Structure formats: C-alpha cells, structure tokens
Amino acid sequence: MFAPRGSLRERPHHEVAGPEEFGFRSGERGTHGSRSIMLADLQLLLEATSSETSYEGYRVTIMEQNVLGKGTASNRLWSWKKLRELYGLDPNKVVFRAFRALWSGDSGGRPVLSMLLACARDPLLRMSIPVILNTSQGSVVTPEDFARAIREAAPDRFKPGTIRSIGQNLYASWSQTGHLSAGKIRTRSHPVITPQAVAYALLLGRLGGARGQFLFSTLWAALLDTPTSGLLELAVEASRRGWIDLRRVGSVVDVGFSKLLTRAEEETLRE
C-alpha cells in the first residue's frame, strides 16, 4: 500500500490521506482557497484552551470569547470555520486529539506538527506537496510554482484568479512551516523537526495503513525532510519520552501507539 519514499514524489498526493473516521478530510476543494495555514490564530486558540476542551468549547472560545481578537462577528465565524476545516478541533477524532497531546511539549516543532495535521485535512495543501518534495534545498520557489501544481492536480476545476490566490496562500503556508525561507525571495529550506513531529508523522502513517519499518517511508515521513536514520533517532527519543512504543531488533522495527490511540482505535486498525 505504501511505496518507498522516492516513489512518493510521483503519487497524486491529494489522494493520500486516511479514513474520515479518524479525522482525515478529502474532497475537491480546501481551505487554502481563501486562507493560509493560520498558525498565529491556531497558537492563540490553543494557548486559551486545554487538551480537555471540547469541540463546542473551541467554538465558544472563538465566537463568544473572541480570543483571536477579530473585529466583527462575521470575521469570528469565518475564522472558526477555517480553523475547523484545517485542524478539526474535535478531540473525538484521533488526528486532532493526538496533535493536541503532542503540541504542549513541542514549541520549536509546532509549525511542522501543524503542517502535518493540515495536510491530513486540506486537499489543496496536499496537492502542493510535490513542489516541496521535488525542490532541492536552496532552490528558489515562487507562488506560481504552487499555482502550477494546483492546475496540474485539478485541471479545469478553478478559475485563473482563484488559482493565483491559492498559490499565494500555499506559498505563505510553506513559509510558516519552515519548508521555505523567509524574505522577499524564498528558497527551499529545512524545517525544525522534533521527536513530537516524528511521533505524529508515524501515527498518521499507521492510521493510513502502514506499519513497522514502512512507517518511515510514508508521505508523512517524507515531509519531515530527514533521512531515515535521523527519523529513527528522533523516534527513539519520542519513545523514551513516552509518546510512542518503539522496538528494534536488528533491521526489524515495530512501532506502537498505545499512548496516542484508544483501545477501540487500535482494534479498528487491527481489523
């Protein structure tokens, strides 16, 4: 089901997600038609809430408490809608619940952690992944590169003006995650990768059907911009900190997720 990392670069990435019951989202359109990854708003929201906050609690925090500081009710509603699309904000869905559990201890790696969740939920962001995976470090990247990726992945779906807007939003998002450098001219760069981000990428791979050593060759692992040996080192640290259960015997690798999955979710994955 999962190809080696090299061949991932040739796959239709917007089709690589996972089951909706776990919180993945598919479809023909996505949040990047009107917004970027919204990291600043996400940071404010999560600082004002806790891992125990319910889906309704996130809505109240945005709409009634106005933690994001929006000037009008319509702006609050729009922000709630877009953050919900990008991140789910539902602790009943494992992709968000696990993300929230890992967020608290991952200040340096939060942009990549957020990117992984947003990619799981936004088809447009997934359509832009080839630009990132196919561009070498230090090469210049432009909004048109992302617009071209959308045109190729979804021909005749969007008007030219919409495609340009999507390209700009994607350009902003990948800059926020650290995959692109800051500045007027942006180049492909290496983001900050932490044990939490590796644990989350491995979990997304497991939710999509991979297991064992193949967890290190999924799309999610490729987005971490790190050789397999480096991912294994970070996974060992993630296991030491109690986020995952990693066992290695020679070249055989087994990864468990009892700390991030419920028993019911683990049973579903075993079926």
- What CA–CA distance (Å, rounded) separates 25 from 12? 15
pLDDT in tens, 93-135: 999 999 999 998 777 899 999 999 999 999 999 999 999 999 9
Q: Predicted confidence band at 5 (pLDDT cuts at 50, 70, 90)?
A: very low
Query: pTM higher than 0.75 for the full model?
Result: yes
- Residue 56 pLDDT: 98
Strand positions, DSSP E, the chain: 140-141, 186-187, 245-249, 252-256
pLDDT in tens, 174-212: 999 999 999 999 999 999 999 999 999 999 999 999 999
> Quick check: 146 and 131 in contact, CB under 8 A?
yes
> What are the angstrom distances between the C-alpha of 61 and each of 208, 221, 262, 265?
31, 33, 27, 28
Tokens at residue 217, please?
């060759």
Domains of the chain listed by start with CATH number = 5-16+122-187 (no CATH), 20-105 (no CATH), 195-270 (1.10.10)
- What CA–CA distance (Å, rounded) separates 243 from 131? 31
> Residue 15 above 70 pLDDT?
no
pLDDT in tens, 238-262: 999 999 999 988 888 999 999 999 9
- Residue 234 pLDDT: 97
- Residue 201 pLDDT: 98
pLDDT in tens, 31-85: 999 999 999 999 999 999 999 999 999 999 999 999 999 999 999 999 999 999 9
- Residue 116 pLDDT: 98
Q: Predicted confidence band at 6 (pLDDT cuts at 50, 70, 90)?
A: very low
Neighbours of 231 (CB within 10 A): 21
